Structure 1
Amino acid sequence: MRNLSLSLAIASIFLFGGCQNSKQQEVVLGPNPFIKHIYTADPSAHVWGDGRLYVYASHDIDPPRGCDLMDRYHVFSTDDMVNWTDHGEILNSSQVPWGREEGGFMWAPDCAYKNGTYYFYFPHPSGDDWNNTWKVGVATSKYPAKDFEVKGYIEDLGDAFAMIDPCVFVDDDGQAYFYYGGGGRCVGAKLKENMTEIAEPLRPMEGLEDFHEAAWVHKKDGLYYLSYADNHAEDGKGANRLHYATSQSPLGPWQYQGIYLQPTGCDTSHGSIVEYKGDWYAFYHNMALSGQGNLRSICVDKLYYNPDGTIREVEQH
């Protein structure tokens, strides 16, 4: 009986003590926004081989006049989801040889890694008629947060009107896919091995409902997810929500699933979804620091999936 009691006590310590330790190890996020010293927007989050999570963001300029003043990109990283390092500015419009002379219009970017090189993709107009002259530039580096050099832009993308927000997804087999869109149109295609040219004609992403902009693709348990911002407005002002759709293929067709992030108070919404150290996170921006929808700040919250693969609506904190 004494040995049985001892065994039960040990089991109790293991069961309840183990659960307590597990809870203590759960990641507790810091307050949002997590970047406060400058205004930031359009977070593109990635985990690279060095064990850190990196966020590539656009930069709102204070005092604001409009998105035309956005002119430079910063990179931030963390290894604990609480303490963030600002790696500084990695690119601005003066470094883009084919860009518009007036600068500005450095909107939502993305980054990808393949064969020892980081590829930074960014939208930028090439002329005064900015909304009809968008191009998707490509800068490369051997490092994730410095020494990026503009190599040119992706050619043969067709009609440039309102086509912004590049996203590049690299699948498990190493094949890279390019997506972008705006003004209600979203397209995608395979990329060539060089990561700077499309390998096939762009095709529309079919099955999306109320697409506006901000395409983002991620994969979980063999299922592809395409998330994006809608055209929702409140009181005559932009109040975009973030939606998502799923597919068995990286280029669709997509099955619409619903909204995963409600409006954040900003004029626009833009997000990314990434897994880090076993947890999933939703990145987005809000106006908590400025109180103005065009002076935004990047945020992060936990993202949870239902057993059937659908996404629960994010609780913003």
Structure 2
Amino acid sequence: MKKLFIGCSVFALFISCISFRQKNVLYSGNPIFQGWYADPEGVVFDDKYWIYPTVSCPYTEGVYFDCFSSSDLVHWEKHSNILDTTEIKWAWQTMWAPAIVENNGKYYFFFSANDIQNDDQVGGIGVAVADRPQGPFKDLLGKPLIDKFYNGAQPIDQFVFKDDDGTFYMYYGGWRHCNMVKIKSDFTGFIPFDDGSIFKEVTPENYVEGPFMFKRKGKYYFMWSEGGWTGPDYRVAYAIADSPFGPFKRIGTILEQDPDIATGAGHHSVIIVKDKYYIIYHRRPLTETDQFSRATCIDEMSFDENGFINPIKMTFEGVKANPLK
């Protein structure tokens, strides 16, 4: 793996992570940590913020994961190589789009691997488990959790959502199709829906990939990425529904390129803490054209009086420090 780490670091431009001070208030700065990282999953565990991103480099080199932790959104600690293909024996090239949940004291780490193009290829969505948020993670199943195309959805870009009643749902899918499944609490398989089906398609208008869900005031906010991940028009849109099953009617775009800041803003997650909503996403600096030149950033997300998400203004300052303790 050492050679792969070196190859990926050559491809990465390590940007100085600057903390901004405005009127004696400390800000995170954007990007929030060094290196090319994309598809960030943000979450809070053990009184710390955690971000699990994709290592953004060529497919044959992006075969491991790092993660980052912070107590205040400003100072980040890197945890290197929390999972790689020496542990996931069935994965042989790029692993990306991590998602993570905690249940019964265990941390379950979901990922996409091998970028399969048909049902005859090996790969899809995998799951690993650890006793700590920073791993090391071990393959839970020894095989993919989902390794086939259902309803036209490529098995990638999974997100696991825990509803208020304790039910876990997974939303996933590429190739402009999104499925949802009800997943067992030990994450070894699926629970059929009331009609006996396993995979339900819930694809909203313009959906491409990168689904995400959160709940606010009894409403389900379903979000996704549109456009092409290699291009400047990558963006985030959303819908609001009364049920985790939808229907998810597209409302509009809330994050997109800014000619003064960056392009390719998408594949995000949301952290909710102390009545604050933070959107964590990747974007491509204006000086960069390479498809892998993506940096992880954070900005605040807000709502209007009717509960709709206000358009997000990307910044270089990032967000104010928000200590969890």
- Normalised by the size of structure 1, how large is the TM-score? 0.80
CA change 1:211–1:67 in 2 (3 A) is farther
Report the counterpart of residue 154 of structure 1 in structure 2: 145
Q: Distance in 2 between matches of 1:185 and 1:60?
A: 24
Select the residue among 297, 312, 315 that pairs with 1:314. Answer: 312
- 1:223-282, CA deviations, whole angstroms, 9 ceiling, x for partnerless residues? 11111111269xx94521100111111121113211110137556731011212331101
Ranked by relative contact order (alpha carbons within 8 Å, sequence separation 6 or more), the top structure is 2
Report the counterpart of residue 128 of structure 2 in structure 1: 139
Q: Distance in 2 between matches of 1:155 and 1:251?
A: 20
3-state SS of the aligned residue for 2:86?
Answer: helix
Q: Does 1:226 find its partner at 2:222?
A: yes
Instruction: Please state which structure has a larger fraction of its residues in helix.
Output: 1
Q: Does 1:71 find its partner at 2:68?
A: no
Q: Which amino acid aligns with 2:160?
A: V
> Any unmatched runs of 5+ in structure 2?
1-22, 193-197, 316-325
- 1:34-70, CA deviations, whole angstroms, 9 ceiling, x for partnerless residues? 111x21111001112x111111111023xxxx44532
Report the counterpart of residue 29 of structure 2 in structure 1: 31
Q: Distance in 1 between matches of 2:115 and 2:282?
A: 27
Query: Does the CA-based 8 Å contact 1:230-1:242 persist in structure 2?
Result: yes
3-state SS of the aligned residue for 1:94?
Answer: coil
- Normalised by the size of structure 2, how large is the TM-score? 0.79
Report the counterpart of residue 89 of structure 1 in structure 2: 81
Q: Which amino acid aligns with 2:257?
A: P
3-state SS of the aligned residue for 2:43?
Answer: strand
Cα drift, residue 157 of structure 1: 5.4
Q: Distance in 1 between matches of 2:127 and 2:114?
A: 13
Report the counterpart of residue 299 of structure 2 in structure 1: 301
Q: Which amino acid aligns with 2:136?
A: D
Cα drift, residue 300 of structure 1: 0.2
Query: Does the CA-based 8 Å contact 1:45-1:272 persist in structure 2?
Result: yes
- Which of these two proteins has the greater Rg computed from alpha carbons? 1
Q: Distance in 2 between matches of 1:283 and 1:232?
A: 19
Q: Distance in 2 between matches of 1:209 and 1:243?
A: 10
Report the counterpart of residue 240 of structure 1 in structure 2: 234
Select the residue among 112, 125, 132 that pairs with 2:101. Answer: 112
Q: Which amino acid aligns with 2:39?
A: D
Q: Distance in 2 between matches of 1:114 and 1:179?
A: 18
Matches within 5 A, 1:214-293: 214-231=210-227, 237=231, 239-263=233-257, 265=262, 269-288=266-285, 291-292=288-289, 293=291
Q: Which amino acid aligns with 2:244?
A: P
3-state SS of the aligned residue for 2:159?
Answer: strand
Q: Distance in 2 between matches of 1:167 and 1:266?
A: 24
Q: Distance in 1 between matches of 2:76 and 2:310?
A: 26
3-state SS of the aligned residue for 1:69?
Answer: coil
Q: Distance in 2 between matches of 1:221 and 1:96?
A: 39
Q: Distance in 2 between matches of 1:187 and 1:161?
A: 7
- 1:185-228, CA deviations, whole angstroms, 9 ceiling, x for partnerless residues? 0010211122231212110115x110000011111111111111
